[in-house]
Chain A
Amino acid sequence: MDTTLKKESTVTEFDVENIRKEFPILSVKIHGRPLIYFDNAASSQKPNAVIKAISTYYETVNSNVHRGVHYLSSLATDHFETARNVIASHINASAEEVIYTRGTTEAINLVAFSFGEVFIKEGDEIIISQMEHHSNIVPWQMLCERKKAVLKYIPITDSGELKMDEYKKLLSSKTKLVAVNHVSNSLGTINPVEEIIGLAHAKNIPVLLDGAQAMPHMRVDVKELDVDFYCFSGHKVYGPTGIGILYGKEKWLEQMPPYQGGGEMIKEVKLEKSVYQLPPLRFEAGTPNIEGSIVLATAIDYMNSIGIENIAAYEHTLLAHATKELSKIKGLKIIGQAKNKSAIVAFTIEGLHPYDIGVILDQHGIAVRTGQHCTQPIMDVYGIPGTVRASFAFYNTIEEIDLLVEAVKKTIKMLTK
């Protein structure tokens, strides 16, 4: 099937029915009803191309990389490094700047450890925000504790946007790094990252972006952004779990010590001292997730075959429809009403606990996420126990959103009897 759509194609041409056929899990039944999968921000489903690439790898390529002289090892290495090139080119980076990690969390931890080791000293400040995922909070808290550094938070507005004036005030000569998300996983806010980077760079402060929620939905060009570090996860971009990417500017990576020690990351091991590899291998100790790395490139190829711009445009119509229809429900409040949003709608319903809503929606075959979404500080800002979050992907449909709206209405009726 040719899912390639031309750039100029309009959203009405977006052939969602054919795209859905590429995702086998979308035809399963949950509690006897067709699955409606709205938990894409947690993890996306996988197309046949990805599922098949996993078995093809084990059937025809499987071997360890960068080691053997035998044919398969060389083939696996070739696939592994070709994948790195595909991923690098997708974000407009060079392959030397692309490090394979287990996911966004590990990518952030790697920077917190290795960058932190060299560049963070007692009394230094790191700026993050109130809307970060725990993965972009805890590694910095650990680093600050280790180095006696100080963590500063950019506050957020009621609509779920960063208070940029406050951010400007936080930037100082003490600031050694800014680490914020590109898109918020619990609010859907697309942050003004160009401005964030520009302001930081004006003071020679590097910026890390947590791109876990941006990568599935938009074109990311690390050169254009001029970002210093960019992290994302494979499983949110229709690829396998356990694989992720850390992009880092060469000038930083070459100054950073290894994150873990072991095979692959060393050039020479003597009993007295070892000599480390250059990046990216310096940061890839041990046998990597070879299959995951290769198949992540397959997933990226798949997304590109549909077209990131087509995906973005189609998801925008889903977001607009969901926002409009859900807003009509009495007592429903959308948490996160930024002007610039990704395909995430999080809401609360007056008098009801998100958990109860999630359990009943599940009985309708609808998969949403409920709770704090690993962003406890945001829930504290809004003073709520959590939200119900519907997050969309390009295989979702307007009809599914209508079914969600109906199911929410039924749920309210049932829970308020």
Chain B
Amino acid sequence: MTIAETENELIEEFALFDDWMAKYEYIIDMGKDVPMIDEKYKDENHLIKGCQSKVYLHSEMKDGHIFFTADSDALITKGLVAMVVRVLSGHTPEEIMQSKLDFIEKIGLHEHLSPTRANGLLSMVKQMKLDAAAHSALAKK
């Protein structure tokens, strides 16, 4: 599935909810399925500093594709992390770097991208793209 296809899948899933509560419950549920980061990577190097909730992110390259694992101490943040991981994991560095991630706005979660929400989602997306760039540079060496 391409990044755009997964994004569309998420948009369709969220279209089923007509109230905010169900939407947030779904986000929290998704957090439970996030590919969990290995405890050994839960250190300063893997910490994405949002102001309020902690997000740990790790990436690995396998056969030209990047796979992310993550965790967060806040449920909603963890759900948001899980969504982005679901969209980006398993793709090539180039695909990840070029992704626009419109789905966040399309499912009405753009407020979480605002830097003032400080949940680290914005920094997380940036970090994933930086990781992708780093893996890509390493692969070309």
Contacts and interface: CB of A to CB of B under 8 A. Distances in A.
A371 B51 contact: yes
Interface residues of A, number: 17
Contact of A353 (B20, B21, B75, B118): B75
A353 B51 contact: no
A4 B2 CA distance: 66
Contacts of A360: 24
Contacts of B74: 353, 355-356
Contacts of B75: 352-353, 356, 415
Contacts of B52: 353-355, 370-372, 385-386
Nearest to B29: A417
20 contacts: A353-B53, A353-B75, A355-B53, A356-B74, A356-B75, A356-B76, A359-B76, A359-B119, A360-B24, A363-B20, A363-B21, A363-B24, A371-B51, A372-B51, A385-B53, A414-B25, A415-B28, A415-B75, A417-B25, A417-B28
Contacts of A359: 24, 76, 119
A232 B13 CA distance: 49
B33 interface: no
A142 B89 CA distance: 43
B121 to A, nearest CB: 11
Top 6 A-B pairs ranked by shortest CB distance? A353-B74, A371-B52, A355-B74, A355-B52, A355-B53, A356-B75
A31 interface: yes
Nearest to B27: A359
Interface residues of B, number: 16
A369 to B, nearest CB: 10
A414 B24 contact: yes
Contact of A385 (B24, B73, B118): B73
A241 to B, nearest CB: 15
Of residues A356, A371, A414, which shows the largest number of chain B Cβ atoms within 10 Å of its Cβ?
A356
B77 interface: yes
A31 B20 contact: yes
Given A353-B74, A355-B76, A414 B21 contact: yes
Interface string B1-37: 0000000000000000000110011001000000000
Contacts of B76: 355-356, 359
A372 B21 CA distance: 26
A355 B79 CA distance: 13
Interface of B: 20-21, 24-25, 28, 51-54, 73-77, 118-119
A336 B53 CA distance: 22
A386 B52 CA distance: 7
A29 B54 CA distance: 31
A355 B118 CA distance: 9
Interface string A374-393: 00000000000110000000
Which among A355, A370, A372, A414 has the highest number of chain B CB atoms within 10 Å?
A: A355
Given A385-B54, A414-B21, 9 more contacts: A31-B20, A353-B75, A354-B52, A355-B74, A356-B75, A359-B24, A363-B20, A371-B51, A414-B24
Contacts of A371: 51-52, 118
A3 B88 CA distance: 58
A22 to B, nearest CB: 27
A414 B25 CA distance: 7
Contacts of B51: 371-372
B77 A355 contact: yes
Nearest to A32: B20
A110 B28 CA distance: 46
B33 to A, nearest CB: 15
Contacts of B77: 353, 355-356
Interface in A192-239: none
Nearest to B21: A414
Contacts of A363: 20-21, 24
Nearest to A416: B75
Interface centre among B21, B73, B74, B118, by most chain A C-beta atoms within 10 angstroms, is B74
Contacts of B25: 414, 417
Most buried by A among B76, B118, B119: B76
Interface string A313-329: 00000000000000000
A123 to B, nearest CB: 34
